[in-house]
Amino acid sequence: MKVANKNTTAVSLVEEALKKAEKFADYHVFNFLDNKNALKKAAEIDKRIKKGDNVGRLAGVPFAIKDNFLAPEGSTTASARILEGFVSPITATVVKKLEAEGAILVGRTNLDAFAHGSSTENSYYGPTLNSADQTRVAGGSSGGSAVAVALDIVPFTTGTDTGGSIRQPAAFNGVYGMKPTYGAVSRYGIVAMASSTDSIGFFTRTPEDMDLLMSICASQDPYDMTTLPDFYNANADDSRHFATGWEQVSEEPREDGRDEACRESSSIRVGIIKDFDNGTVHPEIRQALKDKVEQLEKKGHEIVELNMPMLKYALAVYYIVVPAEIASNLSRHDGVRYGFRSDKVKDLDDVYANTRNEGFMAENKRRIMIGNFVLSSGFYDAYYLKAQKVRTLIIEEYAKAFEKCDFILTPVAPNPPFKLGEKTGDPVAMYLEDVMSTPINLAGLPALAVPAGITKDHLPLGLQLIGPRRSDAKIIEFAKELM
């Protein structure tokens, strides 16, 4: 993804991206395009290339950010009315890292408001359309970012994955979508959804590009206490620890992630989950999985069947833990300091009630209500605490599974891209779209959505490759075997 010493310029790459964005405007990929600044930055990069400066590994590469990443370029809206007009003074760590390598931010992509959703239909600015079929959803919540890469507007985009929000739209649009190990990539400067499951990742068209982005962005950030000590780059500077000042004992021993996933063997053990191979998964997706399994066997890899009975509770756990954190994280949107404020205000209670009533989408409100309910006194033990216990069991089940195999291969979602409006009236049907992606977030595992062909209706299909914590690099490497 480097333009230095190539027969092109940053300006022409950015011009091309902006032209395509214009051409595909009816897909509603972008909430904001930064035409003028992007071209100015590109010209600057070209000047530096000419001078022979070291311009970085992404010099001149145009990219877009999901519109929940903070940066002073444009308004960070999270596709929610309540953040309408909000311009951030802060730049997210990830955006800084990408720009430091010479990448050029061209715009902000559409999402379900506050990343609540699986179709990008919950956006205050309207849905993003599927790259393969305009009558179908882009998936979500990072729908805009997935479609931007699928339509080849930009070579890569950023996303957030709290329960499948990168992998599912990646699958729906036939691109690569990486959900890194929890804590691999800094969350600083990204509008929080659920702090304990939010993972920051990317959309690309190749595993190689994904590897490059991960090697740039996966590192410990002093501004995010939940980031892990550097592990992605095998030769990374290991001296960069948290300067906490007191003796911070890591919860788990630090390991070299590169070696954690795979034994020194050319044969890889790939697990498939029996419990998922049932009637609820669309036949064409089951077929895609079977095809890939055969392909792997032919290449000499070992296939291991896994029993993972706890996974059926994951979605229920997810829809308790995540709404609780959502309700908490969205408390700050009160109309007092920034963003939208209702003008129907007589007193303080009105400021809160009317601002939040008018500023949040229905799905936001639904999750806030569920979250506050499960945290209420008298219900906490029955819901939140119980859910956290089951979450621990799910984590343990994965740990056991990874004693038997190096990776797990599953569908990303039970269905191919569905029709716009098909599930908007039925929140539970929409939530069920996340049934295969949420357990990975609860366990903090890395997973990569890989393209897996198309349906007979020419709709993209995707599978996900899941590994143990810190096996991110290995997953990306192994994804090449699935191509």
Partner 1 sequence: MSKYEITIGIECHVQLATKTKLFSEVDNDARGKEPNSCVSPVDYALPGMLPRLNAEAVRFAVRAGHAMNAEINPISRFDRKHYYYPDLPKGYQISQLYQPIIGTGYIELPDGTKIRIEHAHLEEDAGKLSHFGGYSLVDLNRAGTPLIEIVSMPDIHSAAHARDYCKELWRIMTYAGVTYGDLYNGNMRFDVNISLAPAGAKELGTRAEIKNLNSFRSVERAVEYEYQRQSKLLDKGEKIKQETRGWSDDTGKTTAQRSKEEAQDYRYMPEPDVPPIHLSDKYISAEKAALPLLPSDYRARFRDIIPTDTLEILLDYQPLMEKLSELKDNIKAIANLFTSVLLAEEKSVEMLDDLPSAEQLSNLAEMNAKKELSSTATKEVFLKFFDPQMKSKSALDIAKELGVLQENDTAALEKIVDTVLAKPETQKAQADFKAGQDKVIGFLVGQVMKESHGQANPSTVQQILRQKLK
- The whole-angstrom separation of Cα 454 and Cα 462 is 9
Q: Which residues ranging from 212 to 231 are in contact with partner 1 (CB under 8 A)?
A: 222-226
**Selected catalytic residue, list 88, 165, 186, 437:** 165
Active-site option among 79, 131, 141, 219: 141
- Of 274 and 380, nearer to partner 1 (C-beta) is 380
Is 375 one of the binding residues for partner 1 (CB under 8 A)? yes
Note whether 443 and 398 are within 8 A (CB). Answer: yes
Chain residues 334-353 in contact with partner 1, contact rule CB under 8 A: 334, 336-338, 348, 352
Give residue 30's identity as a one-letter amino acid code: F
H-helix or E-strand spanning residue 257: helix 257-260
Indicate whether 187 belongs to the interface with partner 1 (CB under 8 A). yes
- Report, in Å, the least distance between residue 146 CB and partner 1: 21
Q: Does 369 bind partner 1 (CB under 8 A)?
A: no
Q: Does 195 bind partner 1 (CB under 8 A)?
A: yes
203 neighbors 159 (Cβ within 8 angstroms): yes
Residue 165 is a catalytic residue: yes
In terms of Cα–Cα distance, which of 274, 278, 273, 312 is closest to 439? 312
Residue number with CB closer to partner 1 (46 or 325):
325
Active site residue 66: yes
Among 135, 248, 295, 392, binds partner 1 (CB under 8 A): 248
Q: For residue 454, state whether it binds partner 1 (rule: CB under 8 A).
A: no
Active site residue 141: yes
Told to check if 196 binds partner 1 by CB under 8 A, we report yes
176 sits near partner 1 (criterion: CB under 8 A): no
Rounded distance, CA 474 to CA 118, Å?
A: 27
Residues 378-417 that bind partner 1 (CB under 8 A): 380, 384
Active site residues: 66, 141, 165
Q: Which positions touch partner 1 (CB under 8 A)?
A: 68-70, 76, 78, 83, 86, 88-90, 92, 187-192, 194-196, 222-226, 244-249, 251, 324-325, 327-328, 330-334, 336-338, 348, 352, 372, 375-377, 380, 384
